[in-house]
């Protein structure tokens, strides 16, 4: 190692810092083959990159020999000034060439590395987007983002720092050791004796560095988690409402102080490593000059050879040190690849059939035919490594829907009512294929939703939930998300229908107003009406409302209900009801209890039966009717 090069020294320190426990991990068969597949588009760049690395290693050995030749010519007075100048110019030329090689190598390294990062990130992001909702309900977001950042970068380093390091170290070690033995085998062997004096203590330091690094990662993750939770709108509101900013600040200072202390400790161990390396190299250089000088006086060695040996020695310890931990370096990169492949290999439970057909354009009926459903187990939809807490599940999946059958005719409005947890939202989610049925079938236009294209299914259905999500972006961006090609006139027409146009016109920035994280700059009713405008802009044939007015005040509820009347007009509608007027106007009401349809009929028919619906009406909807009458 060139101890004057701090980058090389730090690379060796990182090698000792890496946790060797990764070498004990069993990698799946075919991992190397898959890595080579990732590298295939860059094979020409890789060949050029490795050739440049070899060229740089050769120059690194030639330069000390030329310097030794100059010393011999000066000491022996058997050369000319012109000859010495020519050799000096050659050394200068090699330095320029090496600098050019360094820049070119960096260009190839960046091209390959950033290309690999781009490819892997794009593949993982696209793959994760295809995962079912069940995957996201179990996965820790931070762990998933880490795969796109830390693990992808770790995999990229396999093609840049790890690969180039192994190749350059092996070539440099062989060339340097070979030349040194040819000059003086005695000095070379004595120099190698000092290697254990550095490597063995370095391993001890490395073990402690591994422990410190693990602790540092944990403390940083804890601090970052605290910031993430407290800096989002919901977390900030909770802190302010409970009046604990001082306690939160004190808690954060404690976490930050531990991060500070571990950082100081890590820096000192790192400096100890670097200082030890520099000291051993200095001792070895002194040995070369001392023993080499004695041999030069005896005539066994020339003065130039002594200088060449001293210069070459600085290139001997680095490769030996780095290659001592090369298995850990390689396995660290391999494990990063494996963690990325682990996500890519998790197949989405919900996939488009090879022979999928579009949803029929002339029939927007919905039919449930003896549908049963149970939520998937963790092993079917997620990975333990993506869940912060992953406990073994006992027993098998439990059915939440049992033999559900009903039909919604085109243009009809069907309301689902029942107590919380009865299965109403599950029924709505199955229509959009957020989940797939485990028994029976759901048909739209007479075609099983599992046999229609995902794009046509999404285009055919619009959903408004009780917690309408808005991106931290402008009103315009949130609306056109439903239909990117929409014109300005289309946007205003949708907002007029949703009863939100007047408000948007009154805003200083109009359509370019940023709604804030999850739409928190807007009131609940305003968010819902924007969500309805988004559905109107999409213009689907089927609309699903999942308790869209559940948590609104009376005035907002009335405004949203007017907007919903526009959204539902002429469309096939499946509504999880909250408001009595919606239920009264429904063509059919389904009472859901324990995952079953226990009653069905119109409002008047079910009231006349005097059973479950009548009980629900008295407990849930009668108060809503009185409140609405007062508001209207």
Domains located in the chain, CATH noted: 6-344 (1.20.1560.10), 410-433+454-631 (3.40.50.300)
Give 618's DSSP letter: I
State residue 580's pLDDT score.
64
Q: Is the pLDDT of residue 512 over 70?
A: yes
Report the C-alpha gap between 366 and 444 in whole angstroms.
Answer: 5
Report the C-alpha gap between 174 and 107 in whole angstroms.
Answer: 26
Report the C-alpha gap between 76 and 191 in whole angstroms.
Answer: 27
Report the C-alpha gap between 566 and 562 in whole angstroms.
Answer: 7
State residue 371's pLDDT score.
93
CB 541 within 8 A of CB 460: yes
Q: Which residue has the tokens 């039966």?
A: 609
Worst-scoring range by mean pLDDT, 54-68, 294-308, 601-615?
294-308
Q: Which pLDDT band, with edges at 50, 70 and 90, does 3 fall under?
A: very low
CB 269 within 8 A of CB 14: no
Q: Is the pLDDT of residue 555 over 90?
A: no
Q: Is the pLDDT of residue 10 over 60?
A: no
CA atoms within 13 A on the CB side of 313: 31
pLDDT digits (tens, 9 = 90+) for 166-178: 888 888 888 888 8
State residue 599's pLDDT score.
92
Map residue 542 onto helix, strand or coil: strand
SS percent in the chain: helix, strand, coil, step 5: 65, 10, 25
pLDDT digits (tens, 9 = 90+) for 178-206: 888 888 888 888 777 776 766 666 666 66
Contacts 24+ apart (CB under 8 A), 14-18: 15/206, 15/321, 15/322, 15/325, 15/326, 15/328, 15/329, 16/202, 16/203, 16/205, 16/206, 16/209, 16/210, 16/273, 16/325, 17/206, 17/209, 17/210, 17/213, 18/210, 18/325, 18/328, 18/329, 18/332
Q: Which residue has the tokens 């190692």?
A: 1
Sheet holding 366-374, edge to edge: 399-408, 366-374, 439-444, 447-448
CB 506 within 8 A of CB 537: no
Cβ burial 364-380 (10 Å sphere, 16+ → b, else e): bbbbbbebebbebebee
Q: Which residue has the tokens 């202390």?
A: 261
Q: Which of 355, 587, 536, 544 is nearest to 444 (CA)?
A: 544
Of residues 326 and 393, more confidently modeled:
326
| DSSP state string for 30-87 | THHHHHHHHHGGGHHHHHHHHHHHHHHHHHHHHHHHHHHHHHHHHHHT-S-HHHHHHH
Per the prediction, the chain carries an average pLDDT of 79
Q: Which pLDDT band, with edges at 50, 70 and 90, does 626 fall under?
A: very low
Cβ burial 479-504 (10 Å sphere, 16+ → b, else e): bbebbeebeeebbebbbebbbbbebb
Q: Is the pLDDT of residue 628 over 50?
A: no
Phi/psi for 484 (5° steps) reads -55, -30
Q: Is the pLDDT of residue 257 over 90?
A: no
Map residue 550 onto helix, strand or coil: coil
Surface-to-core class of residue 398, CB atoms within 10 Å of its CB (0-12 exposed, 13-18 middle, 19+ buried): exposed
CA atoms within 13 A on the CB side of 63: 22
State residue 631's pLDDT score.
30
What is the mean predicted confidence (pLDDT) over 397-418?
88
State residue 43's pLDDT score.
86
CB 598 within 8 A of CB 612: yes
pLDDT digits (tens, 9 = 90+) for 408-417: 999 899 999 9
State residue 629's pLDDT score.
33
Q: Would the pTM of this model clear 0.75, i.e. be above it?
A: no
Of residues 210 and 98, more confidently modeled:
98
Query: How long a stretch of residues is the chain?
Result: 632
Report the C-alpha gap between 100 and 267 in whole angstroms.
Answer: 33
Give 474's DSSP letter: B
pLDDT digits (tens, 9 = 90+) for 347-359: 888 888 999 999 9
State residue 28's pLDDT score.
67
Q: Which residue has the tokens 């190299």?
A: 281
pLDDT digits (tens, 9 = 90+) for 271-321: 777 777 777 777 878 888 888 888 888 878 888 888 888 888 777 777 776
Report the C-alpha gap between 103 and 107 in whole angstroms.
Answer: 6
């Amino acid at each position: 190692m060139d101890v004057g090069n701090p980058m090389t020294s730090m690379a060796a320190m990182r090698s000792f810092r890496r946790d060797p426990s990764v070498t004990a991990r069993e990698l799946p068969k075919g991992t190397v083959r898959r890595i080579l597949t990732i590298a295939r588009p860059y094979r020409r760049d890789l060949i050029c990159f490795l050739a440049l690395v070899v060229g740089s290693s050769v120059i690194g050995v030639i330069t000390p020999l030329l310097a030794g030749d100059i010393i011999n010519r000066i000491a022996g007075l058997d050369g000319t000034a012109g000859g010495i100048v020519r050799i000096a110019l050659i050394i200068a030329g090699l330095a320029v060439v090496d600098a050019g090689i360094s820049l070119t190598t960096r260009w190839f390294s960046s091209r390959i590395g950033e290309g690999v990062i781009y490819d892997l990130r794009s593949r993982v992001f696209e793959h994760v987007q295809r995962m079912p909702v069940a995957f996201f309900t179990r996965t820790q977001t931070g762990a998933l983002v880490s795969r796109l950042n830390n693990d992808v970068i770790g995999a990229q380093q396999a093609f840049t720092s790890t690969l180039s390091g192994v190749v350059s170290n092996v070539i440099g070690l062989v060339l340097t050791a070979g030349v040194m033995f040819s000059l003086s085998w005695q000095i070379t062997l004595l120099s190698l004796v000092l290697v254990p004096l550095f490597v063995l203590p370095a391993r001890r330091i490395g073990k402690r560095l591994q422990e410190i690094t693990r602790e540092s990662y944990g403390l940083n993750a804890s601090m970052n988690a605290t910031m993430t939770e407290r800096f989002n709108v919901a977390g900030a509101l909770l802190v302010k409402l409970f009046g604990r900013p001082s306690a939160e600040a004190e808690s954060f200072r404690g976490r930050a102080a531990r991060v500070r202390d571990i950082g100081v400790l890590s820096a000192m161990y790192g400096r100890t490593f670097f200082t030890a390396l520099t000291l051993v190299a200095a001792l070895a250089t002194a040995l070369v000059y001392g023993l080499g000088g004695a041999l030069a006086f005896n005539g066994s060695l020339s003065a130039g050879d002594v200088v060449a040996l001293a210069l070459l020695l600085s290139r001997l310890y680095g490769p030996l040190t780095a290659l001592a931990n090369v298995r850990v370096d390689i396995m660290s990169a391999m494990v990063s690849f494996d963690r990325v492949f682990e996500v890519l290999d998790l197949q989405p439970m919900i996939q488009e059939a090879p022979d999928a057909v579009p949803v029929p354009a002339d029939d927007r009926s919905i039919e449930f035919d003896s549908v049963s459903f149970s939520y998937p187990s963790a092993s079917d939809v997620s990975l333990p490594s993506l869940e912060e807490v992953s406990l073994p599940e006992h027993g098998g999946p439990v059915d939440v829907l049992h033999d559900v059958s009903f039909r919604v005719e085109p243009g009809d409005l069907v309301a689902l009512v029942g107590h919380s947890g009865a299965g109403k939202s599950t029924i709505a989610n199955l229509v959009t294929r957020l989940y797939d049925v485990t028994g029976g079938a759901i048909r739209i236009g007479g075609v099983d939703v599992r046999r229609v294209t995902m794009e046509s299914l999404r285009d055919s259905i619009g959903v408004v939930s009780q917690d309408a999500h808005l991106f931290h972006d402008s009103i315009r961006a949130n609306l056109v998300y439903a239909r990117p090609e929409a014109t300005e006139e289309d946007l205003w027409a949708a907002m007029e229908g949703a009863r939100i146009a007047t408000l948007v016109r009154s805003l200083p920035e109009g359509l370019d107003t940023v709604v804030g994280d999850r739409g928190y700059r807007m009131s609940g009713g305003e968010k819902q009406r924007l969500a309805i405008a988004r559905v109107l802009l999409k213009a689907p044939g089927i609309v699903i409302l999942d308790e869209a007015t559940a948590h609104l005040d009376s005035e907002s509820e009335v405004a949203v209900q007017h907007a919903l009347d526009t959204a539902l007009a002429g469309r096939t509608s499946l509504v999880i009801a909250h408001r009595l007027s919606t239920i009264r106007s429904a063509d059919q009401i389904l009472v859901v209890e324990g995952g079953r349809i226990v009653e069905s009929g119109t409002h008047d028919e079910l009231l006349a039966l005097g059973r479950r619906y009548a009980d629900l009406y008295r407990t849930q909807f009668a108060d809503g009717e009185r409140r609405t009458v007062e508001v209207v």
